[in-house]
Structure 1
């Protein structure tokens, strides 16, 4: 597996008009009254929209045969904003395999995407691909030992996954009950990136910030979230950022989350 480290995944330019960032904002929980997120004349693009533009990169690695795409899962995500995304335009991105970590029974592939607007890293957990004698890599950030500084609810919509998949990730697991059952799920699940992005809206509000002013975001996908679930989010202040964990009925679904706004 170490031969994949450093592999160039190519360059791609993705174009969009203002329809896509508006649809994206609605898909991650913005309302019709959030005019600066859903009205083209006042539009500020949510920085996490970039992750839909760059989805081709982890898909390209799977298509190249690095791992079994039927069993690999999205483990965690990082995003660092360089410049605000325009309301419409074209974004040129380059991608590479930044690291391959050996977790024993599995490998973790880190796919890094860069553009003038952002840097993003997908961590893909591939069962059965480990044991090649490589470095285990860093451990995930642990839950803070201190009591949370705050809590907030995050209500997802029963239709949220159906809406989010129109942004490009049309895996059947998010819409087809039969595909979900085949994957061992009782019903279709939310996209991890949708849940993580949705979390930034109440986090921004809790800090008196605007969600489009996000500078950094990261989080680990600990367990599936189902459309319609209500997430219980706990937060901790960490210098200029906010740490967070989200759970559903006492089960952690997003861990090691960190968000920083201007």
Structure 2
């Protein structure tokens, strides 16, 4: 099959269970502090919406296992999340997945995998080298950086053990822990999961927006460059109506671009 023939293919359904311990572990893995009691203390627990992405990781993994692309070289290009309702403290998520689009970038293809649930809709964009050139459309352009001065300048300090910790939530790809696997993927050393970076950025963005991070309703971002455990992120944000547009950089290199986060703000 050429890459374009995967468009519209169903990836099946799955029910994933979780408990309060996993939701708390997730909050800690993406940067919550022990003082964030409503994220890390079971008596007050609110589950971060981005936690759902760890339960839905099976879908892009299933596409790779089916032979759509080389799992050792494909990388996570971008992510979108639309929240439909708050996640319960524990329970089960019933999900259905499909390949919504395949874009032709010439030397590579981008596979868009959509996971649908009563609680959320999530879209993975997977950049697959060597799978382009099948005559398909190139797809939409990325959101451009705003020209206006930023409304927010924030800092996120990642931890040296953050990738190792985040792996416990289900994304066990070797490139995030094994130096040799990272080199195969073209990286100098193991790097942080893009979804971990994206979720970590939402915590200070929520505070800047006067919201709680569990009140996230929409999120998207493009992974422009790798983040390594221990890196310090400089996050720049622009107010855009009810949302915040953002970018993140490490030592002047953009690592997340085209970001957008929207929170439900209660007054």
Superposition TM-score, scaled by structure 1 size: 0.98
Counterpart of 1:223 in structure 2 is 225
Counterpart of 1:252 in structure 2 is 254
Counterpart of 1:47 in structure 2 is 49
1:2 CA displacement: 2.0
Aligned equivalent of 2:197, options 180, 195, 199: 195
Paired residues for 1:73-92 under 5 Å: 73-92=75-94
User: Helix, strand or coil for the counterpart of 2:51?
Assistant: helix
Q: Is the 8 A contact 2:97 2:114 kept in 1?
A: yes
1:170 CA displacement: 1.2
Q: Following the alignment from structure 2 to structure 1, what is the Cα–Cα distance between the partners of residues 117 and 180? A: 38
Question: 1:164 and 2:166 equivalent?
Answer: yes
Q: Following the alignment from structure 1 to structure 2, what is the Cα–Cα distance between the partners of residues 201 and 17? A: 22
User: Helix, strand or coil for the counterpart of 1:42?
Assistant: coil
Q: Which runs of 4+ in 1 moved over 6 A?
A: none
1:179 CA displacement: 2.5
Counterpart of 1:65 in structure 2 is 67
User: Helix, strand or coil for the counterpart of 1:111?
Assistant: strand
Q: Which string of whole-angstrom CA distances, capped at 9 and with x for unpartnered residues, describes residues 240-259 of structure 1?
A: 10000000010000000000
- CA RMSD in angstroms comes to 0.9
Counterpart of 2:109 in structure 1 is 107
1:173 CA displacement: 1.3
1:186 CA displacement: 2.6
Q: Following the alignment from structure 1 to structure 2, what is the Cα–Cα distance between the partners of residues 183 and 114? A: 29
Q: Is the 8 A contact 2:73 2:184 kept in 1?
A: no
Aligned equivalent of 1:8, options 10, 21, 24: 10
After superposing the two structures, state which structure 1 stretch, 77-86 or 176-185, moved more: 176-185
User: Helix, strand or coil for the counterpart of 1:236?
Assistant: strand
Q: Following the alignment from structure 2 to structure 1, what is the Cα–Cα distance between the partners of residues 23 and 186? A: 32
1:172 CA displacement: 1.6
User: Helix, strand or coil for the counterpart of 2:43?
Assistant: helix
Counterpart of 2:58 in structure 1 is 56
Q: Is the 8 A contact 2:72 2:184 kept in 1?
A: no
Structure 1 alignment gaps of length 5 or more: none
Q: Which string of whole-angstrom CA distances, capped at 9 and with x for unpartnered residues, describes residues 58-96 of structure 1?
A: 000001111111111100000000010011101100000
User: Helix, strand or coil for the counterpart of 2:166?
Assistant: helix
Counterpart of 2:19 in structure 1 is 17
Structure 2 alignment gaps of length 5 or more: none
Q: Following the alignment from structure 2 to structure 1, what is the Cα–Cα distance between the partners of residues 67 and 44? A: 43
Q: Following the alignment from structure 1 to structure 2, what is the Cα–Cα distance between the partners of residues 131 and 124? A: 16
Question: Between Structure 1 and Structure 2, how many residues are aligned?
Answer: 262
User: Helix, strand or coil for the counterpart of 1:244?
Assistant: strand
Q: Following the alignment from structure 1 to structure 2, what is the Cα–Cα distance between the partners of residues 134 and 110? A: 14
